[in-house]
Structure 1
Amino acid sequence: LAEHGVKVIIVGAAPGGRIRGLLRGKHTVPFTIIEQTSGYTKYPKATQYALPAMKILNRTALGNDVPHRGLHPNAVSWHKLNGTYIIGLENEIHGYDPDRMVSLPMCDLTRLIYDQSKDLPMIKYLFHHRVTGIGQDDNKATGNQGERLQPSADYIVGCDGANSIVRRSLFGTLFPGMIWDEQIAATNAYFGFDQFGYTDSNFILDPEDWFMTAKTTKDGVWRVPYGDATSLKNEQIIGRQPERFKTLSPGHPKPNEYKLISISPYKVHQRLAESMVAGRILFAADTAHLYNPFGGLGLTGGIVDVDSLFECSSGIRHGKANETILL
């Protein structure tokens, strides 16, 4: 990156794109973040920020708000389906660590990032703007938004998710990897798992009726992803949710004994783009790779991606490295 006149476009206003903007926006490179939606969702989606992610967030103004608003999980444990405790790891025994894991729904994080960055002079948000294609030459990268709008910059960073237009513009449908056979339904609900001896994060082991449950907010929302029959269609999976909750959850609750917030059936992908750099186009987070979600690395990996891009571009801008550091 040159010292002056450098512009960067970030496609996608999920946390990965916004955090990159927040990191860079406090320096001297102008960023435009283009998002096809309003930029917000009512669904919690990802919730876990492991130590590598918290180290990065703590270097921004988010370092105070995320731990304050989020939940510090007290432990992770493994159980049999009948609730029998197998083994666990306590978090509290290590005392306070500013970089320890925090749980905060992604929808809350995106709002925090926007509030912290909206008034920074080097960051511009364009909501309800859809990028339909990407082009580039030796001097610039261009994001196509129809015949009239073709914003250009020195670099474009694709942070527009698993179905990325940016990645597809370069690699088509090629996204090497695999889809696991297992069918998963991700739910969010108010239910007192802790009343049955569960810790804040739990893996329940069973050949058929396996699931995970994790407390994600201070007011008691639990994430409960569970396995279901692979032969079922999405509407059948959704229809079976009360039956599955009764089978899986301690106390075998009826629908009036918990509050279901959301349910989303999905398949687990593990994929990696052919390259995370293609000329003046860069990829990060779900645009670049998809993880098995039962480890909390998806959101953490995306945050680490954008921090690495920030460090590389900062080194180039200050003459400490050249553009080959991005390869």
Structure 2
Amino acid sequence: MANAETIAIVGAGPVGLITALGLAKSSISVTVLERANSIVPSPRAIVYHWACLEGLNELGLLDDALEAGFSKQDYSYIEFKTGERIDFSLDVLDDRTKFPYNLHLGQDALAEIALKKLETYPNVRIRWGVKVTGIQQDDTGVSIEAEGPDGKLELRAGWLVGADGAGSTVRTQLGLEFEGITWPKRFVAANIHLNFSQYGFARTTFLVDSTYGSIIVKLDRNDLWRVTFSEDLELPEEGIPERLEQFLNVIIPNVKDYKVDAYAPYRMHQRAATKFRVGRVLLAGDAAHATNPCGGLGLVGGLFDVYALYGPLAAVAQGRATDEVLDKYAEDRRRIFTQIVSPAASEIKRVIFDTTDTTQRATDMDNLRKLATDKATLVERLMLTTRMNSASTSSK
């Protein structure tokens, strides 16, 4: 059994692995448990807003991430029916931050970079193919029951972090509700080899329409792009390749020169656990909160969880702070998600995908035009992600 001073983390996505890295840098012994046999490559988060890059830099991840992905400042909104295009750039932040750009990189690639860093720490152990089946805790630690490649196993840790996604086993074991809503549509995220730039798309383009609304984002330095659109839940998932082809031929008539690399259908949620801390167990990332991907606020919010958590948790584990700082983490991160992140993501989704009222659409377009014509409005919009940070629980 693991030493009770160990901190266990369930989930080897970016949130779990980067939390492990932050703890490892403080000389904490960390065990990461992941039910999959390797990092999952399914199409998911791809954009990291400028405000979260300082945290990646502090952990020694940003340079490698920029080398594997790329930085980007350009954005466009295009109203599908009229063809009106509204362009704006993050260059308005050039004199406000060392990182006036967003990072584009698949979340699996970010996880791989974090994993490579973790492999240099002797105080970190990653256990693949381990499914957690039970959690019990007392005043001194957490007992974890699991099933691994060699059968049942038991582990003991001083603290446990659940970073195991929206379907979190840890959250379920704690008996916590995942409050909120599930949107009555399906999203489809498809990675496609096609040079969208030659058809006039910016490297992040929001196509605004209640039928053909979509988010089109460049993924790498070559011509791999992500197209995300929504569709009726009643449509059979096996028909997605045909509907994807039809969709592409509407937004780019007669397009032929493309190859679908991968696609993933998924449900969209606006949900938060009723608590982000129960005793010696804490939640982070999608295990704590889930949002629709519009605006790229999901994993970014998870990274801000990481930055707020690993320093205080290390301090508590080493006796340098009382566990009141973990209550502060739990309360602050839940407040930020429910009051800032979730409403913002829901509004972005509405503008891109959901509005059918012509008067409302006209108002939306007027507001979007201000992003291109009014620097103050654009800066205010871009500063949204700074409000997702928890300065009071900084890891510094």
Using the size of structure 1 for normalisation, the TM-score is 0.91
Check whether the contact 1:238–1:265 (CA below 8 A) recurs between aligned residues: no
Out of 169, 173, 182, the position equivalent to 1:165 is: 169
Match of 1:132, SS state, is: strand
**Within 2, Cα distance between the matches of 1:286 and 1:253?**
36
Contact 2:182–2:268 (Cα < 8 Å) also in 1:
yes
2:58 aligned counterpart, secondary structure: coil
In the other structure, the counterpart of 1:38 is 37
Residue matched to 1:115: 116
CA contact (8 A) 1:228 1:237 kept: no
TM-fit CA distance, 1:206: 1.3
Secondary structure, aligned partner of 2:72: coil
Aligned to 2:160: 156
Report the AA paired with residue 179 of structure 2. Answer: P
Q: Which residue of 2 aligns with 1:21?
A: 20
Q: What is the deviation of 1:132?
A: 1.2
Q: Is the 8 A contact 2:50 2:99 kept in 1?
A: no
Matches within 5 A, 1:1-327: 6-81=5-80, 84-92=83-91, 94-95=93-94, 97-98=98-99, 100-146=101-147, 148-171=152-175, 174-247=177-250, 249-254=251-256, 257-317=257-317, 321-327=321-327
Give the CA deviation at 1:98. 3.2
- C-alpha distance in structure 2 between counterparts of 1:149 and 1:188, whole Å: 38
Q: Is the 8 A contact 2:23 2:311 kept in 1?
A: no
- How many corresponding residue pairs? 320
Q: Deviations over 1:173-216 (max 9, x none)?
A: x3111011232211110112111222110111112111110111
Residue 5 of structure 1, CA deviation: 6.8
Distance 1:24 1:320 in 2: 14
| CA offsets 1:294-326 (integer angstroms, 9 cap, x no match) | 111111111111221112224435665310121
Moved more, 8-17 or 181-190: 181-190
The alignment partner of 2:324 has SS state of: helix
Which deviates further from its counterpart, 315-324 or 122-131?
315-324
Task: Report the Cα distance in structure 1 between the residues aligned to 2:232 and 2:82, rounded to whole angstroms.
Answer: 22
Q: Quick one: which amino acid aligns to residue 166 of structure 1?
A: V
Please identify, of 315-324 and 186-195, the stretch whose mean Cα deviation from structure 2 is larger.
Answer: 315-324
1:75 Cα deviation after fit: 0.9
Greater per-residue helix proportion: 2
Unaligned ranges ≥5, structure 1: none
Tell me whether 66-75 or 268-277 shows the greater mean CA deviation: 66-75
Task: Say if 1:311 and 1:197 are closer, same or farther in 2 by CA, change over 3 A.
Answer: same
Alpha-carbon distance in structure 1 between the residues aligned to 2:166 and 2:121: 28
Moved more, 59-68 or 91-100: 91-100
Assess if the C-alpha contact under 8 Å between 1:246 and 1:253 holds in 2: yes
Change (3 A) 1:93 1:326: closer
SS at match of 1:58: helix
Deviates more, 1:230-239 or 1:269-278: 230-239
- Per the TM alignment, residue 285 of structure 1 is displaced from its structure 2 partner at its CA by 0.3
The CA distance in 2 between the partners of 1:93 and 1:322, in whole Å, is 41
Distance 2:219 2:91 in 1: 17
The question of whether the paired residues in 1 share the 8 Å contact of 2:193 and 2:260 is answered with yes
Q: Is the 8 A contact 2:22 2:311 kept in 1?
A: no
Is 1:11–1:160's contact at 8 Å kept on the other side of the alignment? yes
Secondary structure in 1 aligned to 2:249?
helix
RMSD between aligned alpha carbons?
2.1
TM-score with structure 2 setting the length? 0.76
1:92 is displaced (CA, Å) by 4.2
Give 1:82 shift. Answer: 5.7
SS in 1 for 2:154: coil
Return the alpha-carbon distance in structure 1 between the equivalents of residues 214 and 153 of structure 2: 46
1:207-250 residue CA offsets vs partner (Å, 9 max, x unmatched): 21111101111112111001223321212334322112211x32
Instruction: Give the distance between the partners of 1:125 and 1:185, measured in 2 at CA.
Output: 31
Which deviates the most, 317-326 or 227-236?
317-326
In 2, Cα distance between the equivalents of 1:129 and 1:314? 24
CA distance in structure 2 between the aligned counterparts of 1:51 and 1:142, rounded to whole angstroms: 39
CA distance in 1, matches of 2:100, 2:118: 22
Aligned to 2:372: none
Structure 2 gap segments, 5+ residues each:
328-396
Distance 1:74 1:221 in 2: 18
Could you tell me how far 1:151 is from its partner in structure 2? 0.3
Structure 1 outlier segments of 4+, above 4 Å: 92-96, 317-320
Paired with 2:100 and 2:10, the residues of 1 have a C-alpha distance of 28
Look up the SS of the partner of 1:178 in the other structure.
strand
Please identify, of 212-221 and 228-237, the stretch whose mean Cα deviation from structure 2 is larger. Answer: 228-237
CA distance in 2, matches of 1:308, 1:6: 21
The superposition leaves residues 3-44 of structure 1 with CA deviations (integer Å, 9 ceiling, x where unpaired) of x97220001110101001111112221100011112223334
